[in-house]
Amino acid sequence: MEIVTSSVSSISEIIFSRLFDAPGRLIGYLLNYNDNIEALRNQAQKLKDTRHSMQLRIGAAERNREIILPDVQSWISKVDNVSAEAEKFLEDEGNANKMCFKGWCINVQHRYQNSKVAKQKITVITQLQEEGKFQTLSQPAPPPSSIISPAAGFSGIFESRESIKNDIMEALKDDKVSIIGICGMWGVGKTTLVKQVGKQAGEEKLYDSIVMVAVSQAPDIMKIQAEIAELLGMTSLLVHSKSARANSLLGRIKSEKRILIILDDVWSRIELEEIGIPFGKDHGGCKIVLTSRRKDAFDQMNCEKIFIIETLSKQESWVLFKEHVGMDVENSAISKIATDVVAECDGLPIAIVTIARALKNKNKDVWNDVAGQLRTSTPIDILGIQESVISPLELSIKNIASEEAKSLFFCCSVFPKDFEIPIEVLVRYGVALRWFKNVETMKDVRYRVHAIVSTLASSFFLIYREHHYSIVEKYVKLHNVIRYVTHIIAPKYNQVFLVKVCTGLNEWPSRDTYEDLTCISLMSNNIEEVPNVMKCPKLQSLLLQGNYKLVFSDNFFQWMKDLRVLDLSETQLFPLPKSLSSLVNLRTVEIC
């Protein structure tokens, strides 16, 4: 009986409590009506302010091309809906109160209901404020399937490049090949080609990610790491050491099943491990493509495939020039000049494009001036030539390893364009001009010259040739554009030249002074007379071969005390000028 009585008592208390609570809540909503409405207004404003602050952060992230997280976007949507509802509710409530005030009426049911709604909305807003405390609003955008932009310039691809591109694409598909090298002389179009390769690899979906960064002459490893990381959507490299960054980058690259990394403009061996790039057995899905103007850099990095990019053919050069010059030169009065200009560019794309742009919409006088500058190897007043051609090539020449190699290279520039220079001639000149240190025998000199030629040829400064007759004869030649630039920058290396070869000269060239000259090369002209006397205290080389009717005055050599190389082959040598006895330092005379 006691248990039954206790249960009935508890049930009665619950029923009584609920009956009492209902009127209590009603009275509470009525009594707190103004407070609830004002609290809602304050909370709605706070939510609006939070939303505005959040939008500022979102805007900053979007400007950095980051992706806003889905839960942030969902929160913004909810906030906008709740804010709109609260604003509408408060507006309607304000209008209703104005009407009641004018009629001196108070609608108890209305106040109870709206006070209750206001309280509910405050609860929703409070919850949204709590949910909106995001630590992170966004994440970096994932890298696109290919970051390679189409190469600017020529609208198509030449046949000579197409076959190489196809071979490179096959190498990219070969699982046995990890590192591919693309090399060629400066300005030949390596970067353009590798962009086309990267673009095609992306279109064919050969890789999940493709990244391309420039290495340059003095590689900044941390900068290279940062650029690769950014392209892969990483943000964690900013504050770590070089080795820690390499480990982090290594892990990120390994997370890609198939990835192509293009390192453009490599000048010398770089340690891929130091950057954080896995290759070979370390990550079979990572393919690396390098471009360089130095083939020996690839030899040092164990490239499995090396592709050499040659200059353009005459027809390809003409097509490229016409596209950039922007006028019908083929059927105009300047057709012959245009042909000569293109020939002087010797198939080098950067020179063709630069000069074509400089001549675009110009009159015939400008065309003649440019052609003249190219013929005389002094193309310094052509628009764009300094920054596009001379400065980059000058940097390359500056980085020729040894002074011996620089001397040999500069010597090659005093021969006629397209002239095949026998390496044995360079041996004799080198001995006479004392290029070599610590070399005792002619056999050692030959070894040294051939080694230098090999190095310069692998860096595409010289073009190496072999002719097979009774014995193998070896030659080198210089590309026209490199020859032009060499003449321009030679004075910076205390090499001052007077070079006028194969130009049909009939008279000795006039000059204010000859005292600063280190080399005079007037070979293969029609000069008949020389000055009576010339003051050339610094002159070391005098190359006059091929002037068949040349006659010397007795005093001509009197002021050439430092002359070491004299080439008078194919000239009228007799009678011998008395001043030849003044050449006390003369070591090599060519008279055949």
Residue 496 has a pLDDT of 94
Residue 450: give its domain's CATH number. 1.10.10.10
Q: Is 553 exposed, middle or buried (0-12, 13-18, 19+ CB in 10 A)?
A: middle
* Residue 293 and residue 164 in one domain: yes
In a domain, 100, yes or no: yes
Residue 184 has a pLDDT of 93
In a domain, 9, yes or no: no
* Residue 238 and residue 193 in one domain: yes
| HSE-CB of 282 using CA atoms within 13 angstroms | 16
* 547 band by pLDDT with thresholds 50, 70 and 90: very high
Buried-state track 140-165, b at ≥16 Cβ within 10 A, e below 16: beebeebbbeebeebeeebebbeebb
Domain boundary among the residues 252, 286, 308 is at 308
- Give the residue numbers spanning the domain of 359: 314-391
CB 296, CB 272: distance < 8 Å: no
* Residue 109 and residue 246 in one domain: no
Look at 4-18, 50-64, 268-282, 463-477 and tell me which has the smallest mean pLDDT: 4-18
* Residue 186 and residue 242 in one domain: yes
Residue 563: give its domain's CATH number. 3.80.10.10
Could you check whether the bond before residue 575 is cis, i.e. omega within 30 degrees of 0? Answer: yes
Residue 93 has a pLDDT of 77
Residue 491 has pLDDT above 70, yes or no: yes
Domain boundary among the residues 438, 460, 484 is at 484
* Residue 345 and residue 436 in one domain: no
Residue 12 has a pLDDT of 45
Extract long-range pairs of 46-53: CB within 8 Å, 24+ residues apart. 46/125, 46/129, 47/79, 47/82, 47/83, 47/86, 47/125, 47/128, 47/129, 48/83, 50/79, 50/129, 50/132, 51/76, 51/79, 51/80, 51/83
Where does 445-568 show beta strands of DSSP type E? 462-468, 472-478, 497-499, 519-521, 541-543, 565-567
* 149 band by pLDDT with thresholds 50, 70 and 90: low
Residue 17 has a pLDDT of 45
In a domain, 237, yes or no: yes
* Residue 404 and residue 526 in one domain: no
* Residue 340 and residue 382 in one domain: yes
Domain boundary among the residues 308, 343, 373 is at 308
- Whole-model pTM: value is 0.72
Residue 160 has a pLDDT of 84
In a domain, 6, yes or no: no
Reading across the β-sheet that carries 462-468, which strands appear in turn? Answer: 421-422, 472-478, 462-468
* Number of domains the chain is built from: 5
92-106, 141-155, 403-417: which has the highest mean pLDDT? 403-417
Average pLDDT over residues 148-170: 74
Q: How far apart are CA 548 and CA 571, in angstroms?
A: 4
* Residue 22 and residue 78 in one domain: yes
Residue 300 has a pLDDT of 87
In a domain, 355, yes or no: yes
The per-residue pLDDT for range 19-53, each reduced to its tens digit, is: 445 555 667 776 777 887 888 889 889 988 988 98
* Residue 238 and residue 104 in one domain: no
* Residue 170 and residue 91 in one domain: no
Q: How far apart are CA 449 and CA 430, in angstroms?
A: 8
Average pLDDT over residues 220-249: 84
In a domain, 489, yes or no: no
Residue 116 has pLDDT above 60, yes or no: yes
* Amino acid identity at 577: P
* Amino acid identity at 23: P
Look at 64-68, 230-234, 387-391, 478-482 and tell me which has the smallest mean pLDDT: 64-68
* Residue 60 and residue 128 in one domain: yes
Extract long-range pairs of 18-27: CB within 8 Å, 24+ residues apart. 26/112
In a domain, 3, yes or no: no
Residues 26, 30, 35, 37: is their CA dihedral positive or negative? Answer: positive
* Residue 291 and residue 165 in one domain: yes
In a domain, 265, yes or no: yes
Q: Percent of the chain, pLDDT > 90?
A: 46
The per-residue pLDDT for range 283-323, each reduced to its tens digit, is: 989 999 999 999 988 988 889 999 999 999 999 999 999 98
